[in-house]
Amino acid sequence: MTDAPPPTGLTEHHAHLLQLGRSLSMADLSKAASREDMLERLDAHARGLPPEAWLLAHAARPEAWPDPRWPGIADLDRVAGGRPLCAWCFDYHALAANTEALRRAGISPDSRFEHGRVVLDDRSQPTGVLLEHAALALWSSVPEPSESDRAPLLLAACRHLADLGYQEAHDLKAQPWLGAVLADLDRAGELPLRVRLYALLEDLDHLYATRRDWQTDRVTLAGGKIFVDGTLNSRTAWMLHPYAEAPPGLERGLPMMTPDEIETAVRRADALNLPLAAHAIGDGAVRAVLDAVERARPKAAGFRIEHAELIDAADVPRFARLGVTASLQPCHLLADIEALGRAVPDRLDRVLPIRDLLESGLTPGSGVVFGSDVPIVRADPGDSIQAAVHRRRANMSVEQAVSPEQSVDEPTAWACFRTA
């Protein structure tokens, strides 16, 4: 995709190791070009499964299809052949499920979620599409890997990243048991890279209290994690201005936390002398996190905003002023081009303003860092280099680039994959 040097010694600043390990055996829908193509790929994958197994898939990108609608639930029932089916959107904030999966999860037309939605058809019946916490409720009914399966899955994920040139990975949703399993792999001499863990806020106290039992020189607790909003493709990213198109009730997205809750989270992490990593994709969520940091004035260094796909111009200089790292995934631009054009055609100049952030005083590798969010998209660093330098897919014309004035040169882009 670029003429970049062979990638070595890189840091994957945003990964989900267990989910990456699990995704390696799921149906990969990243190349599905339509509803029909998705169904054919699911049908082919189902043929190789035992009758009682869940049909699991990931990486669907309906927004990139000519007709951006998920398959209907009757079609999902047909290809599943009686199995429960769960097919994630690539962003892991929406999924499509069949009737059997909804039944096992206890989700009905009457199910309600404070920060989620069961999408219904014009007869008030489930379409199979679930958003945010409704999707998580469905996923919680899928059998978890056994304790004996955890280490092999994590080892496969870490080897996958090491093969791409990474020497360090940051896990941005670390399970309470993750540090101990990774530390065992490290002590056995099997772990191929360093890992820094960011735990969900509800798990942070436990991992902090037990850290001396499992930490090694190469496996460490780095901070906490919160989710402030959803995603662009689901129209749940929290925006300052209305989307050009959005379902009723999601005109400006779906905030997952109130301003007071964000500030409380900042203070809780800081009380442990740890930073917080905040998932914030929309410009409204980014501003809310910056506001909370400004109010709390944490003493711990290293507070991060993850994704920051849209940043209002007034908020760009606040990152450097408040000491907040912009942890970006430029590769998402390659997946989101169609969704951006539909959702925020009037604000494309605010998409991933990398050049503005660097010119405001942030340093590559510390103030601005790159990752992939794997398995949301693949972890190949060349994808982010392509997006940061060219602001478009390799097969697109120059005229199709998204805010090309925000591009950076290749050495600068590679520097964002290092750790300063």
In this prediction, residue 420 has a pLDDT band, given cuts at 50, 70 and 90, of low
pLDDT in tens, 175-223: 999 999 999 999 999 999 999 999 999 999 999 999 999 999 999 999 9
For residue 136, pLDDT over 70 is answered with yes
Q: Rounded CA gap, 57 and 48, in Å? A: 13
pLDDT recorded at residue 52: 87
Whether pLDDT at 25 is above 60: yes
User: What CA–CA distance (Å, rounded) separates 76 from 79?
Assistant: 5
Sheet holding 368-370, edge to edge: 10-15, 166-174, 194-200, 219-227, 276-280, 304-307, 325-328, 368-370
pLDDT top residue among 64 and 123: 123
Average per-residue pLDDT for the chain? 94
Distance CA 143, CA 53 (A): 10
| pLDDT > 70 in the chain, percent | 98
27-139 CATH: 3.10.310.70
| pLDDT the model gives residue 297 | 97
Q: What is the pLDDT of residue 61?
A: 87
For domain 10-17+148-415, give the fold.
Answer: TIM Barrel (3.20.20)
State yes or no: pLDDT of 1 exceeds 70. Answer: no
| pLDDT > 90 fraction of the chain, expressed in percent and rounded | 86
Q: Which region among 22-26, 98-102, 207-211, 342-346 has the lowest average model confidence (pLDDT)?
A: 22-26
Q: Tell whether the model's pLDDT for residue 298 goes beyond 90.
A: yes
Return d(Cα 86, Cα 96) in angstroms, integer: 6
pLDDT at 151 (0 to 100)? 97
HSE on the CB side for 207, CA within 13 Å? 28
* pLDDT over 80 at 2, yes or no: no
Question: What span, in angstroms and rounded, lies between the C-alpha atoms of 41 and 29?
Answer: 7
At 253-284, the pLDDT tens digits run 999 999 999 999 999 999 999 999 999 999 99
299-302: list long-range contacts, CB under 8 Å, 24+ apart. Answer: 299/270, 299/273, 300/269, 300/270, 300/272, 300/273, 300/274, 300/275, 301/275, 302/222, 302/223, 302/275
pLDDT at 7: 60
Cis peptide before 375 (omega within 30 of 0): yes
Q: What is the pLDDT of residues 229-260, one digit of tens each?
A: 998 988 999 999 999 988 888 999 999 999 99
Phi, psi torsion values for 362, nearest 5 degrees: -80, 150
Give me the mean pLDDT over the 82-103 stretch: 92
Range 2-17 average pLDDT:
78
Domains in the chain: boundaries:
10-17+148-415, 27-139
